[in-house]
Structure 1
Amino acid sequence: MNRIGRACEVEIGADAMLHPLLPGSHFAHAAEVRLQRRPDSAVQAYLDIARQVPAWFEGLMWLRNTGMRLLGMKHLGAIRSVPVQAPEGLAVGDRLGIFTVRALTGDGVVLGDSDRHLRVELSVELGPGHDGCQLQVSTVVHLHRPFGRLYMLPVVPVHRRIVPQLLERYARRMAAPGWH
């Protein structure tokens, strides 16, 4: 088991919300971190993490959006463009930043987006820990067309780098005095 605040890559387990989406996927990744205390909800953990995305990553999103718009594809917006608190009455089908809520439980949320080239699903799940709480972020991508494979070439290494960094940053901030 990993130390509190230290993220590690893990398998998407059979009990994970995204496990049923693994067959036929072209990319699957999960990382988790132990937190000193439990967040208010999985949705709130996602919002807190999204708001702390570093500027360099938002710059990559801007490049992605600019390039995709030139190719006639959708502009997703900025990862950080999420509310501070989970909206009252948040439900499946609602937008939350760049994603649509696909599934929602007390301990987990699945967010996703699709276009003609790929479908991405992201889950944030809270689990028990003997001295805190486990937080796991998982991603599963299904490609629909060859362009999706090309699109994923730069995405995969960046994703594998940024997710553990974001989890560790979140764990440090949650442990800091005065963090909500």
Structure 2
Amino acid sequence: MASVTIPGTHIQTLAPVRELYFFDTQSAVLPRPVSPLNAWRILMARPRPIMNLAFKLRDAISSVFGASRIGGFSGAVPERVQVGQMLDFFLVEHASETVLTLTARDWHLDVMTCISVSGHELTITSSVKMHNALGRLYMLPVGPAHKMIVRQNLKELVRAVA
């Protein structure tokens, strides 16, 4: 599926920002440049127990309504990825030295996570398009939690790269 690049950036989203149900973009300046895939590898190296619990809870509740089980993060990230490959429950839609775009699509919502780098600055952008009321209900707790998780991940990434 096509993505939209925000003008003047490497950031990709599911649609123009005004058409998104959820949009969050956060950046951090790293002590040294890191590729998007290496940033993902550092962040996924040790999945947090609370995240695993959250994914189990998500799967238990969402599957009752017919949403696909996603299982969470395994901590395994290959040395290289290519378009069409899966990283846990995410589909790789774009992979370059400056941008890694991952999507998860289901009947209730579509999610895109874009990790982009420009020099020492790394940006994580998440965009969501809704398909129905279940998607909206799902995002009520997930939206605010997601913003806090990304903020914490960026802080951890700065420490890990130092």
Residues 1:69 and 2:81 are matched in the alignment: no
**C-alpha deviation, 1:47, in angstroms:** 2.1
* In the alignment, structure 1 residue 78 sits paired with structure 2 residue 72: yes
Residue in 1 aligned with 2:48? Answer: 54
The aligned counterpart of 1:167 is 154
Identity among equivalent positions (%) equals 26
Q: Does the alignment pair 1:107 with 2:108?
A: no
Aligned to 1:144: 131
Where does structure 1 differ by over 4 angstroms across 4 or more consecutive aligned residues? none
| Structure 1 residue 148 displacement after superposition | 0.7
Maintained 8 Å contact 1:91/1:104 = yes
The Cα offsets for residues 111-140 of structure 1, whole Å up to 9 and x where unpaired, read as 001111100000011112xxxx11110000
State the partner residue of 1:18: 12
Shift of 1:108: 0.7
Does 2:110 correspond to 1:119? yes
Structure 2 CA distance for partners of 1:158 and 1:126, relative to 1, 3 Å: same
Q: 1:93 to 1:104 in 2, by over 3 A?
A: same
Amino acid at match of 2:156: R
Task: Check conservation: 1:42, 1:125, Cα contact below 8 A.
Answer: yes
Cα displacement (A) at 1:95: 0.3
C-alpha deviation, 1:27, in angstroms: 0.4
RMSD, matched Cα: 1.8
Amino acid at match of 1:115: D
Find the aligned partners of 1:173 and 1:139 in 2 and give their Cα distance: 22
**Cα pair 2:92 2:103 within 8 Å, conserved:** yes
- Note the residue ranges of structure 2 that are not aligned, 5 or more in a row: none
- Tell me the number of residue pairs that the alignment of Structure 1 and Structure 2 aligns: 156
| Alignment match, 1:6 | none
Which amino acid is the alignment partner of residue 66 of structure 1?
A
**What is the CA–CA distance in structure 1 between the aligned matches of 2:152 and 2:47, rounded to whole Å?**
9
Deviation at 1:16? Answer: 3.2
Name the CA distance, whole Å, in 1 between partners of 2:25 and 2:49.
23
Residues 47-74 of structure 1 show CA distances to partners (whole Å, capped at 9, x for unaligned) of 2212344221221111001212222221
Q: Deviations over 1:18-62 (max 9, x none)?
A: 2572241100001111111112x2112112212344221221111
1:44 corresponding residue in structure 2: 38
SS in 2 for 1:172: helix
SS of equivalent to 1:45: helix
Q: TM-score, normalised by structure 2?
A: 0.88
TM-score of the superposed pair, with normalisation by structure 1: 0.80
8 A Cα contact 1:82 1:96, kept in partner: no
For 2:13 and 2:92, locate their aligned partners in 1 and report how far apart those are by CA, in whole Å.
17
